Amino acid sequence: MIKSELIQIIAEENPHLYQSDVERIVGTIFEEITSALVRGERVELRGFGAFSVKHRDARIGRNPRTGESVEVEEKRVPFFKTGKLLRERLNDA
């Protein structure tokens, strides 16, 4: 499933909404999650999962091909933990 397919399904279920409104609704949801993470906040969606940001300190890495040392800058990486309900649904036979 890609974003446009998700928008299509929601639009079909809500014939009273314009397609462009549905696009904004779906876009707003993902934008809101991303901007919370950019602010360093967590997003917890019970039953689905939680998004958070982890910090990675600067370190000296190595180019595995040449063995050369390279400085890797400090960075922030997004992290997702699957919610309990979804984890269970994935494993229900």
Partner 1 sequence: MSSKTLTRMDLSEAVYREVGLSRNESAVLVESVLEHMSDALVKGETVKISSFGTFTVRAKSERMGRNPKTGEEVPIEPRRVLVFRASHIMKDRLNQSL
Please tell me whether residue 84 binds partner 1 under the rule CB under 8 A: no
Among 61, 70, 78, 84, binds partner 1 (CB under 8 A): 78
Nearest-approach distance from CB 83 to partner 1, in angstroms:
9
Nearest-approach distance from CB 67 to partner 1, in angstroms:
27
Q: Name every residue whose Cβ is closer than 8 Å to that of residue 42 and which is 6 or more positions away in sequence.
A: 36, 50, 51, 52, 53
State whether residue 22 is helix, strand or coil: helix
Which token pair is 58?
């600067």
Among 19, 45, 61, 72, binds partner 1 (CB under 8 A): 45
The answer to whether the beta carbons of residues 56 and 75 sit under 8 Å apart is yes
CA distance 42 to 10: 26
* Residue ranges that bind partner 1, judged by CB under 8 A: 1-3, 6, 9-10, 13-14, 17, 21, 24-26, 28-34, 36-49, 51, 53, 73-80, 82, 86-87, 89-91
